[in-house]
Amino acid sequence: MKKTRIHHNTEESLINSNGSLVIREMVARLKVREAMNSLVLTGKSSATLREVQNIMRENKISGVPVCDDDGVLIGMITVDDIIKALDAGYINESVEKYMSKELITLDANYPLSLALSYFEKYHFRRFPIVDSEKKLIGILSGRDVLSKMLELFNHEIGILENLIPEEKVKHTEFYYKKYSVVAKDMDNAGHASSAIKSYCEKCGISRKLCRRIGVAAFELEINIAVHSDGGSLAVSHKGNELQIISQDVGPGIESIELAMQEGYSTANDWVRSYGFGAGMGLPNIKRVSDDFDIKSDSKGTNIVATFFIDGGENENK
Amino acid sequence: MKTSDISKIEGVTEAGKIFDVEITSAYTSDLLSDVLANAKDESVLITIQAHKNTVAVAGIVGAEAIIICNLKEIPADMKDAAQESKISLFVSDKNQFETGVEVWKLLQNS
């Protein structure tokens, strides 16, 4: 037994190469090497089936590759082999006689799409990955593929979000864009307001006004993230009027009058640890905006901060 | 002063790519709503808030650099966000006050 890494059973039914074109393209770009688990538990050919059974039990895995002293893959013992051995009473014999020797292996440089077709074709839960000298360098289970795919999805969706075109808008045109804000997700809070500020910059709005809009959007976004059960932040722009609209699904503000007082806050220590929750948000928004409207009940809070572009007199807010 | 001048402060090291632009002021605060309300653009933000939101706040107010004080560890996603927003990130072994004094000296001499 060499290194430790736990392998669980796979859910091969979730992997199907007949997925959408986008997903298939993503899988085609990936190599087996990028998804495989390179820390593999192995057994020696001299080991007994009982020893392999212990490896499986201790590490909660259902298959153990068997290698010779040079690390060359020579067989595989699965939980089925162990059950048979227990049943027929040869559990204390060496694995060499009973291991599967006709193995389907994968090359680390194969595309992951090929690996997926192997899962479908052979119905195995895992494939050993070998190098050109047949030495074991990793193992690929359905779980490994799923983890890699999820990681890739996250990455790709991030790229797609950034690709959504935001063309320069003439002031006569109507522009509206809504961003969802997830409750308690501090890591992504600021994402929508940063995008809104960039939109304003692209429109040629003055640096000072962009900043005021950005501040209002950011405070609104943080409020949704920390105080509500989730909601959205939208920008609506027509002519010389730009509005930031914040909507959430509750639980609502108990006293708007108190919430508008600087220094009043219902935030907990978790929020404060991030540098928010000092009761400055709503007063900040009101101060930077040209018009401010707030409505709240148990079903949610709606806030609209309005800005007049080319206003001139409010440029120093 | 320029962003790159910040690296000259003893005990301050670069924590990512440096975007060398003009810095005309500094703001020290750990309360991000306060930063949003009061920090100026073309500024350097001196804080201990070592997380991604600080970068977003700096971007909103137009701060060009962030100095994280007391050698607080900077998470990878914060570094990524700073690079993406073209905000220079530094880490200081001094506290906010001491770091602020050094930045003030740089601003006075430029």
pLDDT tens for each residue of chain A, 317 residues long: 444 443 333 333 344 445 567 776 777 788 899 899 887 788 888 889 999 999 999 888 888 999 998 889 999 999 999 999 999 999 999 999 999 988 899 998 888 888 888 888 888 888 999 988 889 999 998 888 888 888 888 887 778 777 776 555 555 678 999 999 999 888 888 999 999 999 999 999 999 999 999 999 999 999 999 999 999 999 999 989 999 999 999 899 999 999 999 889 988 888 888 889 888 899 999 999 999 999 999 999 999 999 999 755 444 45
Helix extents (H) in A102-206 = 112-122, 142-163, 191-202
**CB of B52 within 8 Å of any CB in chain A?**
yes
B79 lies within 8 A of chain A by CB: no
Q: In what order do the strands lie in the sheet with A43-44?
A: A43-44, A63-67, A73-78
Residues of B whose CB is below 8 A from A214: 59-61
Q: Is A218 on the interface with B (CB under 8 A)?
A: yes
Which pLDDT does position A20 carry in this prediction? 66
Option in A190, A214, A287 nearest B53 (CB): A190
Query: What does the pLDDT read at residue A30?
Result: 85
Q: Which pLDDT belongs to residue A29?
A: 80
Considering only CB atoms, B41 lies closest to which of A211, A274, A281, namely A211
- The structure tokens 């509500």 sit at A228
The pLDDT value given to residue A15: 44
What pLDDT is attached to residue B88?
Answer: 98
In angstroms, the CA A2 to CA B50 distance is: 39
Structure tokens at A123: 């119905």
The helix-helix angle for B52-61 and B76-84 (nearest 10°) equals: 20
**pLDDT score for A11:** 38
pLDDT of residue B24: 97
In chain A, positions 266-285, which contact chain B (CB-CB < 8 Å)?
Answer: 274-276, 278, 280-281, 284
Q: Which of A104, A105, A96 is nearest to A51 (CA)?
A: A96
Residue B9 domain boundaries: 3-108
The rounded distance, in Å, linking the Cα atoms of A236 and A87 is 71
Residue A317: predicted pLDDT: 53
pLDDT at A148: 86
Instruction: Work out how many domains chain B is built from and give that number.
Output: 1
Asked if A214's CB is within 8 angstroms of B77's CB, the reply is no
Three-state SS annotation for A249-312: CCCCCCCHHHHCCCCCCCCCHHHHHCCCCCCCHHHHHHHHCCEEEEEEECCEEEEEEEEECCCC
Q: Tokens 């990512």 — which residue? A: B16
Alpha helices by DSSP H, listed for B51-95, are: 52-61, 76-84
DSSP state of B8: G
Nearest to A187 among B36, B47, B52 (CB): B52
Beta bridge partners of A64: A77
The CATH number of residue B66's host domain is 3.40.1390.20
Which chain B residues have a beta carbon less than 8 Å from that of A261? none
Pairing of the two strands B88-92 and B12-14: antiparallel
* B78 has a chain A CB within 8 A of its CB: no
Give tens-digit pLDDT for B34-77: 999 999 999 999 999 999 999 999 999 999 999 999 999 999 99
- Pairwise CB contact (< 8 Å): A189 & B47: no
If we measure between CA atoms, which residue out of A6, A211, A119, A304 comes closest to residue B35?
A211
Query: Which pLDDT does position A168 carry in this prediction?
Result: 54
Structure tokens at A9: 């059973």
Residues of A in contact with B35 (CB under 8 A): 275
Query: What confidence score (pLDDT) does residue A151 get?
Result: 84
Nearest residue in B to A201, CA atom:
B60
Cross-chain residue pair A287–B30, CB shorter than 8 Å: no
Measured in angstroms, the CA of A281 and the nearest CA of chain B are apart by 6
Interface test with A, best of B41, B48, B60, B80 (most A CBs within 10 A): B60
pTM as predicted: 0.61
Interface test with A, best of B30, B32, B33 (most A CBs within 10 A): B33
Please write the tens of the pLDDT for every residue from A155-177.
877 787 777 765 555 556 789 99
Give the pLDDT of residue A290. 96
